[in-house]
Structure 1
Amino acid sequence: MKESTFKYLLKKYEKGETTSEEKELLEKFENHFLKKNEATVFQSASHKNKVQNDIYRVVKRSTAKSPTNWYKIAASIIVLLGVGISVWFVFNPKGTISYTLIATNENEIKNIVLQDSSVVTLNENSFLKFPNHFTSTSRHVILKGEAYFKISKDKKRPFTVIANNITTKVLGTQFNIKMDSTNISVALVEGSVDVKGLQTSKILKPKEKINFNLKNKEIETVRFNPDEELLWMTKKLTFNNTSLVEIIQLLEKKFEVSIDLDSPTLNEVKVSGTFTNQSLTSILVTITKATDLSFKRTTKNQILIYNPQKSI
């Protein structure tokens, strides 16, 4: 069954307009598709249950109570997302707001243009829910994961991002939100935002970031480097007479490895250059050649940078 046909039948099914033949065809396809693909979509049985429950809760909140078999539709959405169809429309009953759900897979980044021309860049393994049409008084979206927001100015309609129990309210600005099971951070690049959560309200200034630890309820506001914060989106590293120790900190964060220097004297070695969407090995080869150094992997995720002129 083609994706367009599947969506069409689901829309009719939600409205209760499917014929018995169409309903049977839809359910057969759902059962077949889920059984065929679930082994490649889900990491484990517990992962499958978690994702199903997360999406089911969203679908349930987005629709009026009805006897329709929404858990099967949610399962189909999960499978379709898992095999690369990242956009899904949830059609609500007449008279209610309809929403779009967008999810990304591993190593997938999506640019989303909202109805008000705001642009959201959604990082990998993330989820965004937003109405197809904003109301005349407000603009609300729900985020799980990480995203960068470039919001169109509209003084009459504040823009609000809800991430867990943390809300970020703006009129028009650019900022990044990142969340996981225990932490949520809001980093302001441009403009002004009002962040509320854990019984705290904070208006951020550009290059300020607020971190919420949901586990121990700790809150911290720090300054940040936009180039470092947005590495996941720009895929670009720029160094201008930057110390090697600072470069290592960026590389460790970007590539999730540990990099050591064999001597403290290497900390202040300076490097300049720009790297766009390059591998860690390619970056290290260029840096070490330019500084007359060498590097080697001591373990899979451990790298040592050293001076080959000295014995190790």
Structure 2
Amino acid sequence: MRRLEIDKTEESVRFVARYYQPGRFDSHKAWLQMGERLGITPKRRSPIMMWRVAAVAIVVITAGILYLTAERGDTLIAGYDHTEFTLPDNSRIEMQEGAKLKYDRHFDKTERRVSMHGEITFVVAHNEAKPFIVSTPTAQIEVLGTEFTVTADDDDTRLSVASGKVRFTPGNPVIPLLCTAGMTVHYSARTETVNVTSPGSRMEINGKTRSLTFNNTGLKEIVMVLSHFYKVQIELPESESDLTFSSSFTQESIIEIINIINFTLDTHIILVE
């Protein structure tokens, strides 16, 4: 009898988690549907039934996360800091209070794509066939399997990588940045500025002023940024890719920048026509 009551309470929890939506929850219909599921005709709200509903409410409140199911997928909203949840692909997330995450009904079937707002730490399950993609109001982040934290609002996106590799692509300028452990990225859509910090180096890209700042940045990264920033193809000898360079440029042409780097480092970077 005790096991039966527990099973029915768990089913009640699942019922509320599945069907609750703000402003659309019909309590009368819910009583009828819940009664059918539990094998009870709810003509009168018995003490046992009231206890079950109270238990459901306690579980939902203490869970610290509001779990809404809609026709297009699921929405998670954190009620307090350090709220943990496991996604259908077994990726784990830790949400700070007020953070919001959405994914549709195709998640982990054809792709792994979520959208978010607030601060969320991701520990992504590795799956090379289905890259994990996080969309914020101002950027897109793509990973294969790693741990990272994203903080996002309508104007800014911040990324901090704990392990693995992450591809961060700001809204404008559209430059895919490969980020590894220890790197952080801050993108401001208002100023169209990307700041990338990694151990021992720093880089700033400003789309509005058309300026670039490199501080002890690897040539491989610089060439990649220049290629996307100026929408050209640049060739860098493999033997020179590990060299680093520091300088700032504002509205210089791509030819001027390549000439300055080659003259400074005695390198052989060329612009492919």
TM-score normalised according to structure 1 size: 0.44
Q: Which has more helix, going by share of residues?
A: 1
Q: Which has more strand, going by share of residues?
A: 2
TM-score normalised according to structure 2 size: 0.49
